[in-house]
Amino acid sequence: MAEGSGVKKPSSRLATVAGWAQALCWGLVRFWSNQLAWLLGVPCLRRAYHLWLAAVVIFGPLLQFYVNPRAIFANHHNFFNIKFVRSAWGWTCIFLGGFILLVVYLASRRLLLTLRHLSRLAVGAGLWLGATETFLLIENLTGYCFDPVPEGFLVNNLTDKWTCLHEGHQWHGYDVSGHTFLLTFCCLLMVEETAVFRRYLAQGHPAGVPLRLIFLLNVLLLALWNFLLACTVVYLYEYSHKVVGAAIATLCWYLTYRVWYRCSWSPGRPGAGLFLKTGPGEGKKRN
């Protein structure tokens, strides 16, 4: 066939299809990132989300009478508990840290400001480790050692949890739910940190595919934490243990994001020093 016949070669057809597919994927990423950024950036919706978390923890355990007790989530050693819940802070730091890094640096081009915003994750890690040690201390101080027999004889000469377990006995104490604390804390942090993406887009800062993808991954991770939190409160732990864990997580979030981060000697609130605003009779200034 002559070269000028106008018939496209297979390679050019594949390139055209690939171009269409790439444009479609980019359009979907752009659309969903814009919509979700708008939702997370609405203050009243964030307050409604806080009520949702409280409702899940307070009323979720009532569903235990209507679910299958042999479900996979009723087992402490299920796949999601081992791979995600126990390392929830690590997953949160990876995805949320990447998002904070890109948003702050692309908006300001200032390394020190970027490190300052990332330090909020270090504060969160410190709170998580401190809470874990506190929960273990509470369990140790309030517990008793029992023989692993149906009668559950009290072992009076063992008053330490680790010694009790090492001797083959069982320890019964007030076990504040660390998983409920961690999942609630991660949810509150992620909603607070990702809410700035709405203002970021509104002010025309660079928003390429990597940033939008990391934002969508954070939203997916947030959805997963909500699902696993619901499973935890329905299937695992005693009622008061879960409520206390969630309450302490909410207190940690409030004291940092609503109190300390408003001070000048803190890591700062999400978005601090990044966005421009115009006041009455004033030029643009950093917010």
What number of CA atoms fall less than 13 Å from residue 81's CA on the CB side? 16
Q: Considering the entire predicted model, what is its pTM?
A: 0.84
| Assigned token pair, 76 | 């402490």
Q: At what angle do helices 178-194 and 111-142 cross, to 10 degrees?
A: 160
In angstroms, rounded to a whole number, what is the distance separating the alpha carbons of residues 265 and 273? 14
Q: How many beta carbons lie within 10 A of that of residue 222, not counting itself?
A: 22
Closest by alpha carbon to 232, among 85, 119, 108, 124?
Answer: 85
- Write the pLDDT tens digit of every residue in 60-116: 877 777 777 777 776 777 777 778 888 899 999 999 999 999 999 999 889 999 999
Task: DSSP for 198-210, please give it.
Answer: HHHHHTT----HH
Contacts of 34 (CB under 8 A, 6+ apart): 201
pLDDT reading at 193 higher than 90: yes
DSSP annotation of 154: B
pLDDT > 50? residue 280: no
User: Distance between CA atoms of 118 and 109, rounded to whole angstroms?
Assistant: 14
pLDDT in tens, 213-222: 999 999 999 9
Long-range Cβ contact pairs of 35-38 (< 8 A, separation 24 or more): 36/215, 36/216, 36/219, 37/194, 37/197, 37/198, 37/200, 37/201, 37/215, 38/198
